[in-house]
Amino acid sequence: MTADQTFDVIVIGAGSTGENVADAVVKGGLSAALVESELVGGECSYWACMPSKALLRGTEVLDEARAVKGAAAAVTGDQDVAATLERRNSFTSGWDDSGQAQWVDGAGIALVRGAGRLAGERTVVVTAADGSTTTLTARHAVAVCTGSAAAVPPLEGIDEVEVWTAREATSAQQVPGRLVILGGGVVGVEMATAWSALGSQVTLLQRGGRLLAGQEPEAGDAVAESLRGRGVDVQLNTSVSAVRKDGDDVVVVTSAGEVRGDEFLVAAGRRARTEDIGLDTVGLTAGEYLDVDDTLRVRGVDWLYGVGDVNGRRLLTHMGKYQARQAGASIVARATGEQVSMADWSPFVATADAAATPQVTFSVPQVASVGITAAQAEEQGLAHTVVRYELGNVAGSALFADGYAGKAVAVVDTERQVLVGVTFVGPGVSEMLQAATIAVVGEVPISRLWHAVPAYPTMNEIWLRLLETLKG
Nearer to a copy of itself by Cβ, of 10 and 467: the residue is: 467
Please, which of residues 73-112 interact with a copy of itself by CB under 8 A?
73-81, 83-87, 91
Return the bridge partners of 33, or none: 10, 110
Is 161 assigned a ligand-binding role in the annotation?
no
On the CB side of 288, CA atoms within 13 Å amount to 10
Cα gap 200→233, rounded to integer Å: 11
CB of 370 to a copy of itself, least distance (A): 8
171 binds a copy of itself (CB under 8 A): no
463 binds a copy of itself (CB under 8 A): yes
CB of 321 to a copy of itself, least distance (A): 7
Please, which of residues 221-260 interact with a copy of itself by CB under 8 A?
none
Nearer to a copy of itself by Cβ, of 342 and 456: the residue is: 456
Q: Which of 274, 254, 256, 272 is nearest to 264 (CA)?
A: 254
Nearer to a copy of itself by Cβ, of 56 and 234: the residue is: 56
CB of 411 to a copy of itself, least distance (A): 17
Number of residues this chain uses to bind a copy of itself (CB under 8 A): 85
Q: How many other C-beta atoms are found inside a 10 Å radius of the C-beta of residue 318? A: 16
Is 184 assigned a ligand-binding role in the annotation?
yes
Cα gap 276→299, rounded to integer Å: 20
Q: What are phi and psi of 361, to 5 degrees?
A: -100, 120
Please, which of residues 383-442 interact with a copy of itself by CB under 8 A?
395, 398-400, 402, 428-435, 437-439, 441-442
CB of 339 to a copy of itself, least distance (A): 15
Q: What are phi and psi of 283, to 5 degrees?
A: 85, 15
Is 146 assigned a ligand-binding role in the annotation?
yes
Cis peptide before 365 (omega within 30 of 0): yes
Nearer to a copy of itself by Cβ, of 120 and 347: the residue is: 347
Interface region with a copy of itself, contact rule CB under 8 A, candidates 176-184, 244-252, 296-304, 443-451 = 443-451
Within 8 A by CB and 6+ apart from 171, the residues are 46, 47, 51, 92, 95
Please, which of residues 323-382 interact with a copy of itself by CB under 8 A?
325, 345, 347, 351-352, 356-360, 368
Please, which of residues 34-53 interact with a copy of itself by CB under 8 A?
44, 49-50, 53
Nearer to a copy of itself by Cβ, of 77 and 257: the residue is: 77
Within 8 A by CB and 6+ apart from 359, the residues are 186, 316, 367, 368, 369, 370
459 binds a copy of itself (CB under 8 A): yes
State the DSSP H helix or E strand holding residue 237, giving kind and residue range, or none if neither.
none
Query: Residue 449: is it exposed, middle or buried by C-beta count within 10 angstroms (0-12/13-18/19+)?
Result: buried
Cα gap 63→75, rounded to integer Å: 10
Is 116 assigned a ligand-binding role in the annotation?
yes
Binding-site entries for NAD(+): 183-190, 269
